[in-house]
Amino acid sequence: MPDVPAPSDPEGPRRDTRGIVDAPGLFSKVRFRRHTPAEALRPYLEHYWLIDWDLPEPYATHVVPHPSVNVVFQSYAPHVPPTPGPEPRPFGEGTFEEGTFEEVAGIGLGLFSRKLAGRGRVCGVQFRPGAFRPFAPDRPVSDLTGHRLPLHQVFPRTPDEAANAAAAALTPDDDHARVAALDAFLLGLGPAPDPQSDLATGLVDRIRNDRSIRRVDAFARAEGMSVRALQRLFSAYVGVGPKWIILRYRIHEALERAESERDVDWAELAAALGYADQAHLVRDFTATVGVPPTAYGPH
């Protein structure tokens, strides 16, 4: 996978492709990499994700979203065919008026699709599940679920300040400069420590890493919480319920297996993921990705 570790973290962020539908196809069209944020931001963020493309023909990309809020800065411009002569101008020169915007993207409940065309650049911030609210403490994260809002409607920033933050992140061609701009923007928001946020993040991490967690009532009991208290916590800090989280991580794993293996034993995988039978896995996979697992992946 074409990740580039951040300069402050020799190991770099995670390198899996979970959630990306047809990851090889996407990586053949765009330059995609992840970076680690500044140390003070790491309790809150999964990583930064940067994408650049210059496409003579449009390309549609599809993602099964993670249970994460994202801040996204994007810029688009027409495709310019390569011609002999001097080096092309830097991306940021004279392109922002052609299509630049910044937004806060709540958790997407369904398949996210976006058509990439022309010349573009994205600088994204993926928050850890449960860790966004310290940056916007005045509203439950569930208010953002399924929505994409302008930056200034979520953070205490004017439209001009939001546009300046986008320009700072998108103009440089150097990844280090882009990461520094993202660090500066987020640190400037002054996230306040919140024990409930820490609790929610830890619980989602447990679901992500422990395949034995299959029922919300058993999970709540093991954590010494009532189901209602667990659901309230997830609504306020994660944006979706624990049952949704369990299902989404199952689909991510099934999608990655379908992407990388030719002969997946779907009955065995269904059992490993906690499904009652293969039919239930096929139903959830098809409803989320749009095609059944047997029609997906390498052939």
Which pLDDT score is estimated for 81?
67
Alpha-carbon span 169 to 165, nearest angstrom? 6
Which pLDDT score is estimated for 7?
38
**Structural domain boundaries in the chain:** 20-188, 195-295
Which pLDDT score is estimated for 90?
41
Alpha-carbon span 12 to 8, nearest angstrom? 8
Which pLDDT score is estimated for 110?
87
pLDDT tens-place values along the chain, 299 residues long: 344 333 344 456 777 788 888 888 999 999 999 999 999 999 999 999 999 999 999 999 989 899 999 999 999 887 666 655 444 444 343 333 457 889 999 999 988 988 888 999 999 999 999 999 999 999 999 999 999 999 999 998 888 899 899 999 999 999 999 999 999 999 999 998 899 999 999 999 999 998 889 899 999 999 999 999 999 999 999 999 999 999 999 888 888 888 777 788 888 888 888 888 889 888 888 888 888 877 776 54
Q: Which of 205, 142, 156, 208 is nearest to 185 (CA)?
A: 156
CATH architecture of 195-295: Orthogonal Bundle (1.10)
DSSP letter for 152, please: H
pTM of the prediction?
Answer: 0.86
Phi and psi, residue 24, nearest 5°: -60, -40
Which two tokens mark 176?
Answer: 């280090």
Which pLDDT score is estimated for 11?
57
Alpha-carbon span 247 to 227, nearest angstrom? 17
Which pLDDT score is estimated for 95?
37
Q: Which of 296, 292, 294 is nearest to 284 (CA)?
A: 292
